[in-house]
A and B are shown apart, each in its own frame.
Chain A
């Protein structure tokens, strides 16, 4: 199944990321979504976001692909992506 991958996107780019994943043939690609914007945040805030995202990244890398695909299909439907 290739290399386990966790894709991080900020909320502003979720629609684009989902559409691109679909265009590239992996419509259920797990997306770990972090809040937008990132640019002006100070380091402690960034670390806090990273801490919250870590478990999602771990899941994206290690959960069975079938399980993730089901969840992300539903997420995709729910967000209209």
Chain B
């Protein structure tokens, strides 16, 4: 489909410009930074990609995400020019079929793209990974997360047709974090996936709002992990129904308690695969029909004591360490039929 270029002529008035963008449905409701040619040009100087270069085709509109359009949305979101390489890599990930951006945006399932940045760029850009935060440390997380939202609205999206999450506004903000590699006792996410530790990457998940997990008494790996497991295996989790990639974000204190008992990251996944299970008797009975299509051969003769895992395989459970002090972790359900995608940030 031919892409049309639209140059907007506006009066040089901040309020009027914002009103015009908002009325056109091109914002998230907050004021934007007007994407003037000069600002967009500054963003584009931070990538080797040519302005007209197609980075990805984004479902569901099959929108053509050129470097220039990504830069425009980045400016609008408040990104500094040096965030541009993260945006480019993240949009490459959005375009991968296995992520299922169509499902993320066009389904009522409460989820949106969650970016997890690894490698040296996380500290260079000051992306929030955990240690005590000063206000400006939120800047990269807030602006990159918001840029993703504007890109999904303006390039991938369909006004009134996408972003139909049932409880939308709770789902979409601040969706860019970095792993706390300094305080993680294990190999970080990108190393686990075959990248060099010094390579910077962004991994995109089709993520639901996180569920807070509190355990301030645990003194052993199994104690922490039992709490995490019970928080994951719940009747309302779609990850108990079907193929997905549940994400566990461990706070560094919980991670340290677990690692102190000799648990590797693979051990954590194995433990959660074995223990984060929903008894069949607790599975919502009217939903058994959806379960049977997928799992019939395993459960057709099962009694109510049978246990349903939260993922197909231990390796499908993603584990990252993020956050600062505190005995808290998060469980993030992910969209059914969506697999996370990791891309190098160049």
Contacts and interface: CB of A to CB of B under 8 A. Distances in A.
A20 B61 contact: yes
Interface in B67-111: 106, 108
A75 to B, nearest CB: 16
B164 interface: yes
A16 to B, nearest CB: 3
A46 to B, nearest CB: 12
B158 interface: yes
Given A23-B60, A23-B62, A24-B62, A16 B162 contact: yes
A12 B108 contact: yes
A55 interface: no
B60 A19 contact: yes
B161 interface: yes
B60 A20 contact: yes
Contact of A15 (B63, B108, B158): B158
Interface residues on B, range: 10 to 19
Contacts of B60: 16, 19-20, 23
Interface string A37-63: 000000000000000000000000000
Nearest to A24: B62
A16 B164 contact: yes
B140 to A, nearest CB: 32
A20 B60 CA distance: 6
B1 interface: yes
Contacts of B161: 13, 15-19
B160 A23 contact: no
A19 B108 CA distance: 17
Contacts of B159: 15
A19 B61 contact: yes
The majority secondary structure among interface residues of chain B is loop
A25 B2 CA distance: 12
Contacts of A19: 60-61, 158, 161
A53 to B, nearest CB: 21
Contact of A23 (B61, B108, B164): B61
Contacts of B108: 12
B106 to A, nearest CB: 5
A12 B160 CA distance: 10
Interface string B10-54: 000000000000000000000000000000000000000000000
Nearest to A25: B1
B164 A12 contact: yes
Contacts of B1: 23, 25
A16 B62 contact: no
Nearest to A23: B62
Interface string B151-178: 0000000111110100000000000000
Given A13-B161, A16-B164, A23-B63, 13 more contacts: A12-B108, A15-B160, A15-B161, A16-B106, A18-B161, A19-B158, A19-B161, A20-B61, A20-B106, A23-B60, A23-B61, A24-B62, A25-B1
15 contacts: A12-B108, A13-B161, A13-B164, A15-B158, A16-B60, A16-B161, A16-B164, A18-B161, A19-B61, A19-B158, A19-B161, A20-B106, A23-B1, A23-B60, A23-B63
| A-B pairs, 6 with minimum CB distance | A16-B161, A15-B161, A19-B158, A23-B62, A15-B160, A23-B61
